[in-house]
Structure 1
C-alpha cells in the first residue's frame, strides 16, 4: 500500500484517524497518528501482538481499560502506553470529541489493517464490520491482531467458516494488495 501522508480514514460512526507520517527508528518504523473519537465511542477490546501504541490526550477525556482491570482515565497532556500483546480498549469518556495524538511502533501493517476495518464498517453501516471482510482480516492477520472479546466459538468456528465461504464466493478481490502477514 503506497501512502501519501497525512492519510485520513473515517468510519460511519464519525470516528476519524489520521496517519500523520512515519519516523524510521531502530525498533522499526513508527507511524504517527491523530484520533478523533465521538463521545462514548472508541475501538473494542483488541490486541496488537507485535506493536506498542501510545496516545496523548490533546482535547477531551480518554478512558481506557486493560482486559481484567478497572477502567482508568487520562486528560489533556496525559498519555497512556499499550504494550504489545496486552488486550486493551479506549473510548471517549467526555461529552465533546476526544482528540489524541500518538504512535504505533513498529508500523507493520497497521495503516492497511485499520483502513480495511474502517472500510468494512462503512460497508456494513455500523460498528461491526461487514462479516466477510472482518473474517478475511481476522484470518489473514491472526498473528498480529485479535479481538479479545469475541467468544472462542466465534473465533474458532464462525470466523473460519465465513472466511472460506467468502473465498468460495470470490468476496476478496478488493484485498488483492493486502500486505503479507507477519510471521
Structure 2
C-alpha cells in the first residue's frame, strides 16, 4: 500500500525532500527526489539500503559523501552512486546551500521520506520516535546507525 499522496515537499530535520517523479509515473519504477541541505549540515546517519541504488546529481553547492571508509567530494554537474548494501552518508561541508537530485531505483524508497518526516528532527532520547523510525526503515530494507551522528558531526564540524 502506498502512503504517498501524489507528490510531497517535506523537511526531515534540515534535509528538504520534494518528490518530483513518483515510481508509479514510469514503467521503470524510478523515483526522483530533489533534496536541499544548508551549509555545514549532516543529512543522515550512516545507513545502507538493501533494495535500491541511489544516484545523486549535484545541482548547486558541493556534497561530501562517506561510502564505506572512502570520503569523496561531488561538485555541481557531477553524479555519485550510492549502491545498495554500502554503508554511507553525506553532508554539506561548504558555505553555500546544497541542492541535488536523488534518483532512486527501484523507487519505492522515495516514500520513506514522507513517512518519517513527522518524526524529525529525531530526538535520540525519544525512544518511541526512534523505535518508529527504525520500524519504518526496516519495512524499506533501510538500516541506520543512529549512534554515528554525534561522531560524524564532531569529526567534520557539522550540525544535524
Fold match, TM over 0.5?
Answer: yes
Corresponding position: 1:59 with 2:55: no
Rounded to whole Å, the distance in 1 between the matches of 2:62 and 2:136 is 34
Corresponding position: 1:14 with 2:10: no
Rounded to whole Å, the distance in 2 between the matches of 1:130 and 1:112 is 23
Cα offset, 1:116, TM superposition: 2.8
Provide, for residues 27-66 of structure 1, a one-character-per-residue CA deviation record: whole Å limited to 9, x for no partner. Answer: xx11111110011221121111101101111000100011
Q: What is the TM-score with the length of structure 2 in the denominator?
A: 0.77
The one of 135, 140, 145 aligned to 2:131: 135
Rounded to whole Å, the distance in 2 between the matches of 1:90 and 1:98 is 11
Rounded to whole Å, the distance in 2 between the matches of 1:66 and 1:133 is 27
Rounded to whole Å, the distance in 2 between the matches of 1:140 and 1:32 is 20
Higher relative contact order (Cα pairs below 8 Å, separated by 6+ residues): 2
Change (3 A) 1:43 1:56: same
Rounded to whole Å, the distance in 1 between the matches of 2:113 and 2:126 is 14
**Residue of structure 1 equivalent to 2:155:** none
Cα offset, 1:131, TM superposition: 2.8
Corresponding position: 1:31 with 2:27: no
Q: Secondary structure at the match of 1:142?
A: helix
- Which sits farther off after the overlay, 112-121 or 76-85? 112-121
**Residue of structure 1 equivalent to 2:145:** 148
**Residue of structure 1 equivalent to 2:120:** 121
Runs of 4+ in 1 over 6 A off after TM superposition: none
Corresponding position: 1:80 with 2:80: yes
**Residue of structure 2 equivalent to 1:160:** none
Rounded to whole Å, the distance in 1 between the matches of 2:27 and 2:133 is 27
Rounded to whole Å, the distance in 2 between the matches of 1:89 and 1:129 is 22
Q: Secondary structure at the match of 1:65?
A: strand
Rounded to whole Å, the distance in 2 between the matches of 1:118 and 1:131 is 16
Cα offset, 1:132, TM superposition: 1.2
Which consecutive residues of structure 2, in runs of 5 or more, have no partner in the other structure?
149-160
CA RMSD, Structure 1 to Structure 2 (Å): 2.3
